[in-house]
Amino acid sequence: MKLLQRSLVARIIASLLAISSMVVISIVVTIVVAGSSRGDAAAINMAGSLRMNTYQIVASLQRYQQQPGAENRRQVQALTDHFDSRLTSLELTNAIPDDASHALQEQHQLIIQRWEQELSPRLKAAIVGESVSNVALNQRLDGLVADIETLVTLLEQNTEAKIRLLSVLQLLFLGLTIAVVVIALFDIRHNLTRPLHQLVVLAREAAQRNFQYRTHLKGSDELALLGRTFDGMSEELAASYAALEEKVSRKEQELERSNQAMQLMHDASRTLYGGGNDLCSSAAPMLRQLETLLELGPIRLSLNDPFDHREMPVLETHSRTRPVYCRDQECHACLIDPQPLEIMASDQVQCLLLPISVGDAMLGTLEIWYPQKQLADSTRRLLTVLADQLATAVYLQRRIEEQQQV
């Protein structure tokens, strides 16, 4: 029973076996009933011939009594022997059940008893010329005819009962077959057709990259198991696809920011290289815009003193006060941020230190602070380009200062 609940294939096989079994049983029952009815027609004909034979005996006996003779006596004797052989013939006895309490068996035994005890001795006595009452003999023969008609009626009723039994059994098996077919069709519709349709819809939606559809199949059969498995796979694929889309979107955003940053550095290069010796006013706006685009900061630029090689900060994108080295009181490039930030190491931020160098000459360092996360390779490359660009600008500025001093 548990197998039928868990397996759709087992239920379909069980339905086919049940239908096949009922068809086979119906055929077997039909063959058995038809076999048992074989010979019923011959028995009815034989019983009907006994009735005719009785009338022939009566007519022959009357002729013999009117015209006694050897020929008429032999005719009466032949009809009597013929009746006796037909009464116990196989054609008749094979159609009568062996059960002594059966109505057919009782009626047949009644006819045999009446024939052997009442009629046959009187007919033999009449043939040999003994005095026999014709009225009593005819009355007994008429009673025998009535008994034979009763036997014929019982044989017909027995045959009709077999036919009715066969019809009832055929209707019963037909009803059972229809019931099994209806149950099987209901089971196939609800547990095969609908789940299979939902699985096909799930496959079509997945082919169109829609992983949100779910079958929500319940049960313990094969298709329900497939539905739950595919639902889990769809859920995992949806999560993977969403993560992939998010990653692609993030990469696109990074690429867009990188392109904007490259454009910004390209546009700022003319100001940076042509800004004279005012590095703060030319580089600070560009660095602040890069911080906004790349989501990092603050940025500090420190340069080595060309005389004592001491490192000193020259530019901060978020400074509270004017740097101590600054002599240009008209420059506010470091002080225009309304919300200055303090640069300090913590668990939330990290620092990337890049060299500001031209060839083998170490000009300074560029400190870039960024949130505690993995810095993208494209951002690192951009920052390296920025460091090279600043190094070129510092180098050009120093060359200009040297030429001015000369």
To which residue do tokens 């069709």 refer? 185
* End-to-end Cα, the chain, rounded Å: 106
Per-residue pLDDT tens digits for 252-303: 888 888 888 888 777 777 767 665 556 677 777 788 888 888 878 788 888 8
Which residues, 6+ apart, have CB-to-CB distance to 134 below 8 Å?
Answer: 62, 65
The domains of the chain are located at 1-189, 209-273, 278-405
**Residue of 218 and 334 predicted with greater confidence:** 218
For helices 40-66 and 134-188, what crossing angle results, to 10°? 170
- On the question of pLDDT at 39 being above 80, the answer is no
Which pLDDT does position 128 carry in this prediction?
66
Residue type for 269, please? S
Question: In DSSP terms, which residues pair with 313 in a beta bridge?
Answer: 302
- On the question of pLDDT at 337 being above 80, the answer is no
Confidence band (pLDDT; 50, 70, 90) for 341? very low
Which pLDDT does position 347 carry in this prediction?
61
Average pLDDT of the chain is: 79
3-state DSSP call for residue 30?
A: helix
**Secondary structure of 208-237 in the HEC alphabet?**
CCCCCCCCCCCCCCHHHHHHHHHHHHHHHH
d(CA 178, CA 121): 62
Say if residue 298 is preceded by a cis peptide, omega within 30 of 0: yes
Per-residue pLDDT tens digits for 120-134: 777 777 776 665 566
Q: Is the pTM of this model over 0.75?
A: no
Per-residue pLDDT tens digits for 181-209: 998 888 888 888 888 888 888 888 888 88
- For 83, phi then psi, to 5°, come to -65, -40
Burial 92-129 (b: 16+ CB within 10 A, else e): beebbeeeeeeebbebbeebeeebeebbbebbeebbee
- On the question of pLDDT at 58 being above 70, the answer is yes
- On the question of pLDDT at 176 being above 80, the answer is yes
| CB-based contact 393:272 (threshold 8 Å) | yes
| CB-based contact 233:211 (threshold 8 Å) | no
- On the question of pLDDT at 380 being above 80, the answer is yes
| Domain 278-405, classified CATH 3.30.450.40, yes or no | yes
